[in-house]
Amino acid sequence: MRKVLPLILILLLSVNVTAQKRKVQRAYDAWDAGEYFEAIDFFKDAYSKTKDRAEKADLLYMVAECYRLTNNPKYAKTWYKKISGKDYAKPEATFYYAESIRKNGDYKEAIEEYRNYKQMVPSDARADIGIRSCELAIEWMDSPEPYKVNNLKDLNSRGSDFSPAYARDDFGLVYFTSSRDEAMGKADHGATGENFTDIFESRLDKKGKWSTPLPVTGLNTDFEEGTPSFTADFRQIYFTRCEAGKREQKGCVIYTSRIEGDGWSEPEKLEILSDSLVAAHPAISSDDLSLYFVSELSDGYGGKDIYVVRRETESSEWSDPVNLGPDINTRGDELFPCVREDEILFFSSDGHIGMGGLDIYRANPQPDGSWIVDNMRYPVNTFADDFGITFQGIEETGLFTSTRKGRGNDEIYTFELPPLRFSVTGLVKDEKSGEAIPGAAVQLIASDGTTVRIETADAGEFKFILKGDVDYIFLASKQGYLNGKEKETTRGQDKSREFLTTIVMTSIDKPIDLPNILYDFGKWDLRPESMVSLDKLVETLNDNPNITIELMSHTDSRDTEEYNIDLSQKRAQSVVEYLIRKDVNPERLSARGYGESNPKVIDAGMANIYNFLKEGFILNDMLIQGLSTEEQKEIVHQINRRTEFRVLRTDFETE
């Protein structure tokens, strides 16, 4: 027995090793066949039976990879976490751990993991893209785009429902892809665990409800069909058929069919690639001369890329496929193209900066053949997969697909960009006191010719509804005040907005300061710095065409009274001459120099600026002599050296 027992143990160990190898091989065979859903349990079983540390690490990674490729970021995150950062783990585990965290919407945590990966592989730009994507996702969610997004429950099932396309010009008929129970193919898809997909249709009734989806007659088989695209007249359809049963992998080709009588003709394979190459996700242009599609050809940029074939006429042969280039395609996957009537291309990608898995992008073609690509942002895009968009003509409304509910299956959503709405809420107040001015007339003057007039309420407020792409002037007037004016524009605004504005009005019961009217010592020529203030006075006079004014110049008391009178008169006259050169009617202007005779009276505003002066102080020689420092005295002299104007009449009539 002592000799037999070791032999039995060796035999049993050999059997166990052989059985384990078979388990591992079966798992990898399923993986190689693209049957990731089935491979999950095989890898888990093999993982639970092995005690080899290196093999455990490999099997852990493969389970996580299967969850990633079956689009289950919640479980992918759990399994990547088991291995990420371990000394025996692949760096890719940390990268995909960060990706799965981002796909769960945990952006701050994802940033930390991207940084960990960047330390492992500093040269991999995907880490920087991931970090920037998370930062922008947070910003976009804090300031969402104005789209309204809703789940289209009438079309969705427990299976996957995706890639809708309008099939009629009134947008009351929709075709879409679905793996629901009613699909013809009853076998489970090894990659998804769901039925093979078919193309279904649904119609909108008079009450705005979509009918129960039904399989489209004449297009579906026991294999997979999906991603429909229609010509502009809706009489021809392009779609994908995957006879090998693996979405976007070998076996997928593009078919086309035309309306014949009450149904579709027998679908014909589109001969744009050789039989060994994949072509999927067709998108036909409105002129039927350009067909965009997805493939993995030798000139690609990484994963799946978007290509285009073109033809001269509808009866011509298609050209060789052309890759859309690095503006569109990345080392990731670019999928589900849609070309709108205005030639703007929409597509989904996980390689551009985005919020999570697949995001939807808008690509505007440029004259030089390049593209300007923009993320459609939140709420169209989320941390989940968002793809398969379609539009009602060129309107910013339509349908798209998302996994945002977190269940892993695709669902169809509506989106709509509500009409832009603009308004302005304003306040009219006194320039000096800051108090509201009730009963002021406010006139809206628009660049489109519209004029509206209202009065401010008791609290001095007013409100107008505005139109888009228009310039506005708001002119406030009231007896005893100079007219006040503010401007706003809705040009270039891409979001609804309520503008807030304040119109300041100046009382004419006292002289009005003209700040920064400067002269060299003993001279009366205006210095260049004075022009800004005087140009504002020109604008005030233009806004108040019925007033006449007196320009009042003052000096300090540090020369003879006669000298100061003469100097101030010349300074006041220099202002009048400047205004006349600016086409102000001379009859509305007079100049008077007051020399040192009218020292400044301190108001509340100046008292706040200079703490050694109080409201009501008269800046005469007695006050100046009582100041404690030469600096304070010089400040007071500067305040007294001023230019003002006062309103003489408010009934001047222009010819």
Domain boundary among 505, 525, 560: 505
Alpha-carbon distance of 99 to 161, in angstroms, equals: 24
Annotate 585-618 with b (16+ C-beta within 10 A) or e (fewer): eeebbbbebbbbebbbebeeebeeeeeebeeebe
DSSP string, 297-329: -TT-SSS-EEEEEE-SSTTSPP---EE--TTT-
Query: Which residue has better confidence, 237 or 53?
Result: 237
* 446 and 537 assigned to the same domain: no
Domain for residue 210, yes or no?
yes
- In tens, the pLDDT along 187-226 reads 666 666 678 899 999 999 999 999 999 999 999 998 999 9
* 410 and 434 assigned to the same domain: no
User: What percentage of the chain carries pLDDT values higher than 70?
Assistant: 94
* 344 and 365 assigned to the same domain: yes
Confidence of residue 248 (pLDDT cuts 50, 70, 90): very low
The alpha-helical segments, DSSP class H, found in 70-173 are 73-81, 91-103, 107-120, 125-142
Return left, alpha or beta for 398; rule: phi > 0 is left, psi -120 to 50 is alpha, else beta. left
Query: Which residue has better confidence, 17 or 576?
Result: 576
Domain for residue 591, yes or no?
yes
Average of per-residue pLDDT values in the chain: 91
Q: What is the mean pLDDT of residues 63-89?
A: 88
Q: Using CB atoms within 10 A of its CB, is residue 374 exposed (0-12), middle (13-18) or buried (19+)?
A: exposed
* 322 and 434 assigned to the same domain: no
Neighbours of 284 (CB within 10 A): 20
Q: List the beta bridge partners of residue 446.
A: 472
Neighbours of 287 (CB within 10 A): 11
Report cis status (omega within 30 of 0) of the bond before 379.
yes
Between helix 561-581 and helix 530-543 the angle, nearest 10°, is 60
Domain for residue 427, yes or no?
yes
> Shortest CA distance to 340 belongs to which of 267, 277, 397, 411?
397
Domain boundary among 371, 396, 416: 416
Domain for residue 5, yes or no?
no
Domain for residue 18, yes or no?
no
Domain boundary among 76, 107, 142: 142
Q: Which two tokens stand for residue 148?
A: 């309204």
* 231 and 359 assigned to the same domain: yes
Q: Which two tokens stand for residue 355?
A: 């919020």
- In tens, the pLDDT along 361-377 reads 999 999 999 999 999 99
- What CATH number does residue 597 fall under? 3.30.1330.60
Q: Which two tokens stand for residue 442?
A: 């406010």
Alpha-carbon distance of 487 to 375, in angstroms, equals: 33
Q: What single-letter DSSP state applies at residue 176? A: E
Give φ, ψ of 564 to 5 degrees. Answer: -65, -35
pLDDT at 310 over 60: yes
Fill in the amino acid letter for 550. Answer: E
pLDDT for the residue 603: 85
* Sequence-separated (6 or more) residues with CB below 8 Å from residue 324: 292, 305, 306, 307, 308, 371
The whole-angstrom distance between residue 389's C-alpha and the CA centroid of its chain comes to: 17
- What CATH number does residue 108 fall under? 1.25.40.10
pLDDT at 12 over 60: no
Q: Reduced to 3 states, what is the DSSP secondary structure of residue 399?
A: strand
Q: What is the mean pLDDT of residues 560-577?
A: 92
Alpha-carbon distance of 514 to 549, in angstroms, equals: 13
CA angle 318, 320, 324 (to 5 degrees): 110
pLDDT for the residue 13: 45
Neighbours of 147 (CB within 10 A): 18
CA angle 402, 245, 320 (to 5 degrees): 85
The pTM of the full predicted model, rounded to 2 decimals, is: 0.75
Query: Residue 469: which domain range?
Result: 422-505
- What CATH number does residue 189 fall under? 2.120.10.30
Q: Name the domain count of the chain.
A: 4
Domain for residue 219, yes or no?
yes
Q: What is the mean pLDDT of residues 314-337?
A: 96
* 289 and 175 assigned to the same domain: yes
* 100 and 42 assigned to the same domain: yes
Alpha-carbon distance of 499 to 137, in angstroms, equals: 27
Q: What single-letter DSSP state applies at residue 211? A: P
634: enclosing H helix or E strand: helix 630-640
User: What percentage of the chain carries pLDDT values higher than 90?
Assistant: 71
Confidence of residue 56 (pLDDT cuts 50, 70, 90): confident
Q: List the beta bridge partners of residue 242.
A: 224, 252
Q: Which two tokens stand for residue 223?
A: 């294999």
Alpha-carbon distance of 357 to 388, in angstroms, equals: 13
* 191 and 227 assigned to the same domain: yes
Q: Reduced to 3 states, what is the DSSP secondary structure of residue 577?
A: helix
Identify whether the C-beta of residue 91 lies closer than 8 Å to the C-beta of residue 68.
no
Q: What single-letter DSSP state applies at residue 540? A: H
* 193 and 169 assigned to the same domain: yes
Give φ, ψ of 639 to 5 degrees. Answer: -65, -40
Give φ, ψ of 186 to 5 degrees. Answer: -95, -10
Fill in the amino acid letter for 648. Answer: L
* 276 and 160 assigned to the same domain: yes
Domain for residue 557, yes or no?
yes
Confidence of residue 249 (pLDDT cuts 50, 70, 90): very low
* 452 and 568 assigned to the same domain: no
Q: What single-letter DSSP state applies at residue 71? A: T
Domain for residue 15, yes or no?
no
* 133 and 163 assigned to the same domain: no
- CA torsion sign, 270 to 275 to 277 to 280? positive
Alpha-carbon distance of 326 to 332, in angstroms, equals: 11
